[in-house]
Structure 1
Amino acid sequence: MDPILLTDKESSGAFWPVDGDSSLIFLGTGCSSAVPNARCLLQPSSPPCEVCMKSLSLPPEKNKNYRCNTSLLIDYCHGNRERSYILIDVGKTFREQVLRWFTYHQIPRVDSVILTHEHADAVLGLDDIRTVQPYSPTNDIEPTPVYLTQFAMESVAIKFPYLVNKNFKEGQEIRRVSQLDWRIIEGNSETPFASSGLQFIPLPVMHGEDYVCLGFLFGKRSRVAYISDVSRFPMSTEYVISKSGAGQLDLLILDTLYKNKPHNTHLCFPQTLDAVKRISPKRALLIGMTHEFDHDRDNKILAEWSEREGIWVQLAHDGLKISIDL
């Protein structure tokens, strides 16, 4: 199989520089319900949903319309050539992502996890972290650090009490579960933290007007911002990542849910492109798409937009791997 690397000319005609020993692997680029949308298969329209039908017609390595929950794996190469694997979000489709992309890209483990928020599409795969940990029937392994806010921690403790509470009652059996080391972070850009040797700056954004989600800024030699769930940028956050503020991003990875209609908790295509213009990164990759987006067709539209606006923008896809100097 040919590897899915963004190292040649895409439909935009733009070239992604491949220098750098680290890489970003897009484990998932879809919305919470993923693509194909199960409703399109159980209650098909007439004619059937074209994107959902396409998403079932090809094997994973050739299928850019099959989308799991948004998740990014950072393959970080330290100065001493050692590697760390940092996972941002572990949603409902994590096991499927392991089967599809950990095996494909030969990812042996996860060294640390960072959570953007505590919704199902970001945390419900925590139980399956054990599949990428060493095997021990008695849980005698080093726990994987998980970085999250106190608010997210309280929610996760309710969803997964057996992953959080390690105080066994008398006579209680030891059961093999994910071994996790919970580490609380502050949800503001003034308090960075390090995960597996790589520094991250939290980027608080609105995910609906009643909820704050985190994006993350990382990388010294290349500045990357990952923002998966956002409906509005606070001015302080936009300043940190904008060309007219703290400095131009090399890569912006940004949410776009629907093609045309608006949504109360996510940016949609027109709003996403407006945000890209304001932030003005060197390049942008879009994630979080529903079945309204056809990968090849909409990337041609984005290629025209990129030519007109002078900012390279494309839809990402599951399995996409890009080399980058962090």
Structure 2
Amino acid sequence: MNPVFQAPSGTNKDQSVQGSVEPDPFDSSTKGAAKPQSSSSSLIFLGTGCSGSLPDTRCLLKPSTPPCGVCSMGVSLPPERNPNYRLNTSLLIDYCHDETHKYILIDIGKTFREQVLRWFVHHKVPSVNSIILTHEHADAVLGLDEVWVVQPRNGRNDIEQIPIFLTQFTMDSIARRFPYLMEQKPEDGDEDAQAAKIDWKIIEDDVDKPFVASGLEFVPLPVMHGEGYICLGFLFGRRARVAYLSDVSRFLPKTENVISKSGAGQLDLLILEANALHGVGDSSSTHLTLKS
């Protein structure tokens, strides 16, 4: 499969394209990007880089001869104008329903703080209403330590509870790394402590078991992320069918059926990550590659 939604050439792939979750009129002057409207839903690409992000520090600390063109460009232009400055893969869904905006975040990785400073501020995103995790690798979950920064607050400036949707396997991994996020109340005698206000919601890696986050239904799309490891993508959209697949090396039959024209029906938008523009994957690959 090839990706069917790409940023216009010469723009930063991390955030510059907003695609409508629901079909809106398109402006030809924006080369396929939907018109930004306050009453419409949109997609904000917070990161489109690999697990280590770009530029790769190894290329800069020990440059080759000639230097790597991608990473050299990654430090030669400001990030907002740089197609080779990319953060950990993450998608923010600005879901507008009845003129009310809800922000749903898919994955919260190692570069989350920079994503907040750079793109939340730029797009005036005040908070996140729900978080969905694709898997438990560092590039998808290590930003959980900063989750309190984007949690909604009430009129007294108290942090409100935020739901996080994840599989039991991912939950078990996070519990080992972030035990303090599992606490539902402060320890006895610690009056200054504040329990993590997170509502952990277990989901299944099953296309037949959808769930609802902030009013929007999601269908889990299990895929292989290297043999022996299952990662989730998601199908969503009220009027348009959008499939988001960030870490995939092989499609499972049920998932392929759900997103194929010959199966459950034609997608309106497929967002598919691939790590290399050229090259051929092998049995040890954890991501798809694009071949010219």
TM-score class, shorter: 0.7 to 0.9
Check if 1:266 corresponds to 2:287: yes
In 1: Cα distance, 2:287 partner to 2:111 partner: 20
Distance 1:185 1:104, change over 3 A: same
Whichever residue aligns with residue 240 of structure 2, its letter is: S
In 1: Cα distance, 2:192 partner to 2:204 partner: 33
Select the residue among 123, 128, 134 that pairs with 1:116. 134
Show the counterpart of 1:128: 146
Q: Contact conserved, 1:139 with 1:176, CA < 8 A, in 2?
A: no
* Displacement of 1:141: 2.5
Scaled by the length of structure 2, the TM-score of the pair is 0.84
Show the counterpart of 1:4: 16
Check if 1:204 corresponds to 2:225: no
Check if 1:15 corresponds to 2:36: no
* Displacement of 1:22: 0.4
* Displacement of 1:58: 1.6
Q: Contact conserved, 2:243 with 2:267, CA < 8 A, in 1?
A: yes
Select the residue among 35, 44, 53 that pairs with 1:25. 44
Distance 1:45 1:229, change over 3 A: same
Check if 1:36 corresponds to 2:48: no
**How many pairs are equivalent?**
265
In 1: Cα distance, 2:75 partner to 2:193 partner: 37
Q: Contact conserved, 1:126 with 1:178, CA < 8 A, in 2?
A: no
Alignment of 1:150-165 (within 5 A): 150-165=168-183
Select the residue among 212, 224, 234 that pairs with 1:216. 234
Show the counterpart of 2:21: none
In 1: Cα distance, 2:89 partner to 2:17 partner: 18
- What's the CA shift string for 1:9-30, capped at 9, x where partnerless? 69xx953454871000000001
Whichever residue aligns with residue 23 of structure 1, its letter is: S
Scaled by the length of structure 1, the TM-score of the pair is 0.75
In 2: Cα distance, 1:241 partner to 1:57 partner: 39
5+ residue gaps, structure 1, are: 271-300, 302-326
Specify the SS of the correspondent of 2:116: helix
- What's the CA shift string for 1:144-201, capped at 9, x where partnerless? 1100011111111011000012354433464467531111111101011000000000
Q: Contact conserved, 1:28 with 1:70, CA < 8 A, in 2?
A: yes
Whichever residue aligns with residue 251 of structure 1, its letter is: L
Q: Which piece of structure 1 moves more, 39-48 or 89-98? A: 39-48
- Percent identical among aligned pairs is 59
Q: Which has the higher contact order (CA 8 A, sep 6+)?
A: 1
Cα RMSD between the aligned structures? 2.4
Higher helix share: 1
- What's the CA shift string for 1:56-106, capped at 9, x where partnerless? 12222211211100000000001x200000000000000010011001111
Q: Contact conserved, 1:194 with 1:200, CA < 8 A, in 2?
A: yes
Specify the SS of the correspondent of 2:217: strand
In 2: Cα distance, 1:205 partner to 1:116 partner: 10
5+ residue gaps, structure 2, are: 1-14, 19-25
